[in-house]
């Protein structure tokens, strides 16, 4: 578990763990109905399906004796998807009829990306509540442009030597612009530990590539010296080796991706505070997360997708039970000093620009 490194510990260091009380069987009923109605309505019901899914997971996620809630309007979600679909169709038509004009779409995407990120984060934050108090997001377009365009560009120019810093810039934008009841979240992520995580991942990736290349060369040499191999198509001889090495590489890549994302998530949350007296904590095990992701994928494939509800609940339950808030011994103090008026933002939530663009 990562140690808390941001300032002094709260005066009352009581750990309040989160928990998830949903089940795969319950969620399967919601999921199967959502899937059927989405297909029957040619995708239109997907906005309502997303709302039902989130309300189920949020409503079954508890911090002490109180659950979270999600209040979004499905029409706002649908509007975001219609806009995204229109843009996708526009790009496809442009690519087919006027390929040279695709550059204009790329420029539009770069300009629009920060707004899309800001709008989606604000939409989801302002529609999430705990004990009837809403979360909020105050990020700006300029901040999103810096985190999602300028920093990745700098990482590419520096041959990705600054990629960890680019990752931290995104985390800072996502975390430090969130608030709950008027209290802001503040993350201070140590760059050295972030670089160490990516260095370990880089070593693992190089080793994976080395193993794959060695296996491919060995298979090629073996096929070349195979007795009686005359007239056997090389592809037929090498096919098993190619498939094996490809699967091995994908598995290693999956392992590294989940491993890195888990460690960086722990690092970010363990260095995040809410106000002056609340500290966030994450004790996710990267090995457990890899096992859950890999086994879920296998079971989903074996059941032709029917295991998906249980897979999602399984992963969500593990994540929820390894998150906690450290602060006052009294759980009620989480919100006793917060401004309850934050929950009554009324028309502001219904603003045209508060749209969820997540597909």
Task: With cut-offs at 50, 70 and 90, classify the pLDDT of residue 224.
Answer: low
Number of Cβ atoms within 10 Å of the Cβ of 146: 17
By the 8 A CB rule, do 180 and 135 touch?
A: yes
Q: Determine the Cα–Cα distance for residues 167 and 157; give it in Å rounded to an integer.
A: 15
- Nearest Cα neighbor of 249 from 278, 209, 282 is 209
Q: pLDDT by residue (tens digit) across 277-288?
A: 899 999 999 999
Strands (E), the chain: 14-20, 61-63, 66-70, 128-130, 133-137, 178-180, 183-187, 272-274, 278-282, 323-327
For residue 160, how far is the Cα from the chain centroid? 21
Q: Which residues of 45-56 are buried (b: 16+ CB within 10 A; e: fewer)?
A: bbbbbbbbbbbb
Q: How confident is the model at residue 276 (pLDDT cuts 50, 70, 90)?
A: confident
Q: Provide the percentage of residues in the chain whose pLDDT is more than 70.
A: 80
* Residue 119 pLDDT > 70: yes
Predicted confidence (pLDDT) at residue 338 exceeds the cutoff of 90: no
For residues 251-271, give the mean pLDDT: 92
Q: Would you give the DSSP letter of residue 272?
A: E
Least confident of 15-24, 230-239, 240-249: 230-239
> Exposure of 65 by Cβ count < 10 A (0-12 exposed, 13-18 middle, 19+ buried)?
exposed
Contact (CB, 8 A) for 170 and 151:
yes
**Whole-number pLDDT of residue 1:** 41
Nearest to 178 by CA among 134, 142, 116: 134
In DSSP terms, 285 is beta-bridged to none
The residue whose two tokens read 């401004």 is 339
* Per-residue pLDDT reduced to its tens digit, 189-204: 999 999 999 999 998 8
Report, as an integer, the average pLDDT of 330-335: 56
Asked whether 19 and 320 are in contact (CB, 8 A), the reply is yes
**How much is the pTM?**
0.83
Q: 12-70, pLDDT tens digit by residue? A: 478 899 999 999 999 999 999 999 999 999 999 999 999 999 999 999 999 988 999 99
Say whether pLDDT at 343 is over 70.
no
Give dist(CA 349, CA 119) in Å, integer: 11
Yes or no: say if 310 and 298 are a contact pair by the CB < 8 Å rule. no
Residues in the chain, overall count: 359
């Amino acid at each position: 578990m990562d140690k808390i490194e941001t300032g002094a510990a709260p005066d009352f260091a009581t750990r309040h763990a989160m928990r998830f009380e949903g089940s795969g069987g319950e969620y399967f009923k919601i999921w199967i109905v959502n899937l059927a109605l989405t297909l029957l309505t040619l995708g239109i019901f997907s906005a309502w399906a997303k709302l039902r899914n989130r309300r189920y997971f949020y409503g079954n996620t508890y911090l002490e004796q109180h659950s979270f809630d999600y209040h979004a309007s499905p029409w706002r979600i649908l509007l975001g998807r219609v806009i995204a679909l229109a843009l996708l169709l526009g790009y496809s038509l442009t690519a087919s009829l006027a390929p040279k004009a695709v550059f204009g779409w790329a420029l539009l995407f770069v300009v629009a990306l920060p707004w899309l990120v800001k709008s989606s984060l604000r939409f989801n934050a302002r529609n999430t509540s705990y004990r009837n108090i809403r979360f909020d997001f105050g990020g700006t377009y300029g901040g999103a442009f810096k985190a999602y365009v300028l920093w990745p560009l700098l990482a590419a120019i520096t041959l990705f030597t600054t990629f960890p810093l680019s990752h931290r810039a995104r985390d800072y934008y996502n975390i430090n612009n969130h608030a709950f009841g008027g209290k802001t979240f503040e993350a201070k992520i140590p760059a050295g530990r972030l670089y160490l995580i990516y260095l370990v991942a880089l070593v693992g990736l190089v080793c994976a590539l080395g193993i794959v290349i060695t296996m491919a060369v060995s298979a090629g040499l073996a096929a070349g010296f195979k007795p009686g191999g005359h007239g056997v198509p090389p592809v037929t001889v090498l096919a098993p080796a190619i498939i094996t090495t490809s699967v091995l590489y994908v598995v290693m890549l999956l392992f590294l991706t989940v491993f890195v994302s888990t460690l960086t998530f722990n690092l970010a949350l363990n260095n995040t505070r809410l106000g002056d007296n609340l500290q966030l904590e994450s004790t996710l095990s990267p090995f457990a997360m890899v096992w859950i992701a890999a086994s879920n994928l296998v079971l989903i494939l074996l059941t032709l997708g029917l295991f998906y509800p249980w897979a999602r609940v399984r992963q969500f339950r593990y994540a929820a039970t390894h998150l906690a808030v450290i602060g006052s011994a009294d759980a009620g103090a989480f919100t006793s000093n917060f401004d309850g008026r934050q929950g009554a933002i009324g028309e502001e939530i219904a603003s045209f620009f508060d749209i969820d663009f997540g597909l």
